[in-house]
Amino acid sequence: MLQEFNKVMEYIEDNLTEDIEVEKIAQIARASEYHFRKMFSYISGMSLSEYIKNRRLANANVDLINGEKVTDVAFKYGYQSVDGFTRAFKAWTGILPSEVIKTKVQKSFPKFSFYLNIRGGVSMEFRIEEKKAFNIIGVSKRVPIQFEGVNNVILELAKSITEQQRAEMHEFKDMYPHRVVNASYDFDDGVLEEKGELAHMIGFVSEKTNKFEDLEEINVPALTWAIFPNEGLFPMTLQSTWAQIYSEWLPSSEYELVKAPSISFTEHDKGTESKYSEIWIAVRKK
């Protein structure tokens, strides 16, 4: 579906100064007009007409900066009058079109590219990165799979780390994120169900190899990673992001999972309720 949505975005871009036919959009999207409008609004968080209006006004902003007359720009983007264009432009940018010509102030609204999912108005951001081989060095334990709340067994594992182990692990903070990560791997068959167990490691991502008897090491080959930054209340936001990855992103993306540890980290050192986290999953194109 995302492929078709991106083709629609290209069609809209090619026709910003023309009449955009929703029937044509539905054909490109391979869906009914009703279905496309509903899905577009659900995924993007705005209506199709609002998106088209914002793209036209953003392009009009550029045209005004480049010296085109307000009257010409208004009719170019389908407005029936200069007053109508002026009202819409000021409502969107906060300034008059004539002021843009003088001040060269620009407000941007980039073309959508659908590499994200949105649920309940919360965007799901991600990036794809190629990473060279690395090791994860730390302590591990088999823990129950748990989707919500604090996993007490993982909490016990964290509390069991000795001062000596903590000092040893900090010798391996030579790679991003340069902080403690949580790595989950070796799942029981119930990976997508709240049952069974998985192996969980608390440690550091490193180019180095382990030299301590009281630490363990996971070797991770060079892989492609989908990385999902998120910020909010911990652990609810992090767990919600995990759920979105499996229920929304993976089914609709061009990627599939590769057998490798799933990695996450959270910035606990900032004294706020809102915590920044990242989730890394290894993927390959289907």
208 and 267 part of one domain: yes
Look at residue 199 and tell me if it is in a domain: yes
The pLDDT assigned to 190 comes to: 40
Strands 127-131 and 134-144: unpaired
Look at residue 36 and tell me if it is in a domain: yes
Q: Residues of 262-281 as b/e, b for ≥16 C-beta within 10 angstroms?
A: bbbbbeeeeeeeebbbbbbb
157 and 225 part of one domain: yes
What's the Cα-to-Cα distance from 245 to each of 72, 195, 232, 255, 270, rounded to whole Å?
Answer: 46, 19, 16, 11, 26
Look at residue 121 and tell me if it is in a domain: no
The pLDDT assigned to 104 comes to: 87
220 and 256 part of one domain: yes
The pLDDT assigned to 188 comes to: 58
Domain count, the chain: 2
The pLDDT assigned to 109 comes to: 87
The pLDDT assigned to 47 comes to: 76
Look at residue 120 and tell me if it is in a domain: no
The pLDDT assigned to 179 comes to: 94
The pLDDT assigned to 233 comes to: 87
The tokens describing 41, both together, are: 């609004």
137 and 182 part of one domain: yes
| 3 state DSSP class of 263 | strand
- Give the range of the structural domain holding residue 87, as residue numbers without chain letter: 2-114
User: Other C-beta atoms within 10 Å of 221: how many?
Assistant: 11
How does DSSP classify residue 170? Answer: G
Look at residue 94 and tell me if it is in a domain: yes
108 and 137 part of one domain: no
**CB 269 within 8 Å of CB 228:** no
| 3 state DSSP class of 96 | coil
Q: Is the pTM of this model over 0.95?
A: no
Q: In the listed set 89, 114, 139, which residue is the last one of a domain according to the structure?
A: 114
Q: What is the pLDDT along the chain (286 residues), one digit of tens a residue?
A: 667 888 999 999 999 999 998 889 888 987 767 567 755 765 666 778 889 999 999 999 999 999 999 999 999 999 999 999 999 999 999 999 999 888 888 888 888 876 544 444 444 689 999 999 999 999 999 887 766 666 788 889 999 999 999 999 999 999 999 999 999 988 755 444 455 678 899 999 999 999 999 999 999 999 999 999 998 888 888 888 887 887 677 767 778 788 889 999 999 877 667 889 999 999 888 6
96 and 195 part of one domain: no
161 and 268 part of one domain: yes
The pLDDT assigned to 108 comes to: 83
